[in-house]
Amino acid sequence: MLKISSETIKKCASEAGFSFSGISSLVDFSKEVQNFKESIQNGYHAKMGYLERNIEERFAIDTLLPNCKSVIVNLFNYNIGKALNSNYRVSRYAFVRDYHQLVSEQLEKMVSLIKQHNNHFNYSISVDSGRISEKNWAVKSGLGYYGKNGIFLTPQGSFFFIGLILIDQEVDQYDQPLPDNSNFCGNCSFCIESCPTKAIVKPFVVDARQCLSYQTLSNKNPDFDLVKEHPWIYGCDICQEVCPKNKKSVIHELAVSNSSLFLHFEDSDFENLTKEQFDHYFKHTSIGSKGYEKLIQFIKNRQQ
């Protein structure tokens, strides 16, 4: 059976709206597994107990697609070039509609385009929807590095969603990780110095217990004393905002055309938000899945 052309795959990725695409064969993740286990042992995962379970499966791609041969990693730029005119801060990835749906749609479009050239493969897609560590695959496919803030970082910054296409077919050419001896962040420590809660305990290691994103997104019992002095009510972008690499971030028109409806909100819009308004303005965003009551909790906590 003929191998699928990597050039064709990347052309299809561009046509589907992805800024960058890399392709990896199945690789060894033993070092990454060890680093992950050490983070768990130190309690840096906070109360996210699911991270403690089935750790090896997190790095075993065939749990999503049996007989997987290739992993296609695609980066979707979500920079729309806007900011909220409000003292309440929301992570900019919520400025576009729910990325699980948006990126999944573009991945399916990409698969359809590839199948016009080669239809002899089975596939599975992943957009932050399973145990698989998409950031690790992005590194393995040569698209970038981990930044010192633990976020995947490219030469054009970190404002990217990651979407995987797994296929049970070999590709004619695979990408390689960028050289290990390349210190992408150099001596820069802006993210570490700027984190308001000192959640980045050392380069590349984040203690979720102190992270505003964890508190406002994932913690079922948020530490309101920790977050109330800060303006973030959904996520936190500080470590990304200060990153010099993000000065090279460009606006993506496809992201702009999928912008969320609440971007005109001012302080009073958040403070007087009704359930009906929440359903209208946030229904198709990642915020909508967290629910009205949780968002209101953080708004009221900020007012105290």
- Cβ neighbour number for residue 163 with a 10 Å cutoff: 30
235: nearest Cα among 296, 298, 303: 298
8 Å CB contact between 296 and 222: no
Task: Please indicate whether residue 128 is annotated as part of the active site.
Answer: yes
Alpha carbon distance 14, 31 (integer Å): 32
**CB burial of residue 238 (10 Å; 0-12, 13-18, 19+):** buried
Distances (CA, A) of 124 to 46, 57, 120, 127, 277: 30, 16, 14, 10, 36
Place of tokens 């229904």: 283
8 Å CB contact between 142 and 22: yes
What's the token pair of residue 110?
């990409």
Query: With left for phi above 0 and alpha for psi between -120 and 50, is residue 243 left, alpha or beta?
Result: beta
8 Å CB contact between 196 and 216: no
Indicate which residue of 62, 128, 207, 269 is catalytic. Answer: 128
The catalytic site residues sit at 128
